[in-house]
Amino acid sequence: MDIRNQQQPHAHQDSSSAGQSIGRGRRRSVRRLAVPVAAAALLGLAGAGAAQAATASGATAAANPTCATSGLSVSFGKKLGGGTMHEGTVLKLKNTSSHTCALRGYPGLGLEDANHKTLTSHAAWGDTWYAKDPGKKTLTLKAGQSAEAVIGWTHANTGTSDAQHAAYLTVTPPASTAHKTLKLDTWVDGGTLDVTPVAYKYDVTS
C-alpha cells in the first residue's frame, strides 16, 4: 500500500509535466509559423505596391507621348559669355502642340556653314562652362510650356586649324530624328559643343 501510495503522485506529476511540455511545444510551433506567414504577407503587400507604382508609371508614359520635333519650337534664350574664349547660349524647346508631351535626355547638335553644308562637329553630353549636368529626368510639358538645355563651346575667332566657322546650328530634340535649324555665326574650336540634358530651368553662370 505504501508503495502504491508513493507512486501515484509521481505518475501525476509526470503526466502534468508532459502536458506542459506539449503545450509549450505547440506555442513555439505557432510562433514559428506566424513569423514566415507575417513576412510573406508583408512581401505580398510590397510586391503589390511596386506593381501598382509600375502600372501608374506606365499609364503616365502612355498618356504623355514623347514630344515630336513637329510639335516643338526651338530658339535661343540668354546668350552666355565670360571666361577666356568661352561662349554659349541657353536653348529653349517649347511645346507648340495642343497636347501634353514628354522630353528626356540630351538634344542632338550639329553645325552647318552658310550654304547649309554639314561641318564636322561633336556634341559632348554633360557639364558646360555655364551649368552642371543635373542628370536626365523625364519632363512633362503641357501645351505652351518650355524646357531648357545649356550649350557651351570655346572659340578662337579665325581660330585654330581645326576650328569650324559655323553659320547655323542644327538641334534634334531628344528621342527624335528630325531637327530644327537656327542661325549661329561663330567659330567653334574642334567643332565641339558641350550640352546639358533638358530641364525645366537652369541657373547659369556667365
Task: Supply the pLDDT for residue 107.
Answer: 98
Contact call for residues 95 and 144 (beta carbons, < 8 A): yes
Same-domain check for residues 108 and 122: yes
Same-domain check for residues 13 and 36: yes
Q: What is the Cα–Cα distance from 206 to 201, expressed in whole angstroms?
A: 16
Percent of the chain at pLDDT exceeding 70 = 68
Task: Supply the pLDDT for residue 168.
Answer: 98
146 Cβ neighbours under 8 A, 6+ residues apart: 92, 93, 94, 95
> In this structure, what are the phi and psi dihedrals at residue 30, rounded to the nearest 5 degrees?
-65, -45
Q: What is the pTM of this model?
A: 0.70
Amino acid at 108: G
- pLDDT-based confidence at 2, cuts 50/70/90? very low
Same-domain check for residues 40 and 122: no
Which of 63, 84, 112 delimits the end of a domain?
63
Q: What is the Cα–Cα distance from 102 to 90, expressed in whole angstroms?
A: 20
Same-domain check for residues 74 and 158: yes
Same-domain check for residues 84 and 173: yes
The CATH number covering residue 108 comes to: 2.60.40
Give residue-wise pLDDT tens across range 3-31.
Answer: 344 444 444 444 444 445 445 555 554 45
104: exposed, middle or buried (Cβ count in 10 Å: 0-12, 13-18, 19+): middle
Give residue-wise pLDDT tens across range 144-202.
Answer: 999 999 999 998 766 677 899 999 999 999 999 999 999 999 999 999 999 999 999 99
* Predicted confidence (pLDDT) at residue 45 exceeds the cutoff of 50: no
User: All 3 cell numbers of residue 33?
Assistant: 509559423
- Which residues span the domain enclosing 48? 1-63
Q: What is the Cα–Cα distance from 89 to 76, expressed in whole angstroms?
A: 7
- Kindly state whether residue 204 falls inside one of the protein's structural domains: no
192: exposed, middle or buried (Cβ count in 10 Å: 0-12, 13-18, 19+): middle
* Predicted confidence (pLDDT) at residue 78 exceeds the cutoff of 70: yes
- Kindly state whether residue 203 falls inside one of the protein's structural domains: no
* Number of domains, the chain: 2
Which of 63, 78, 98 delimits the end of a domain?
63
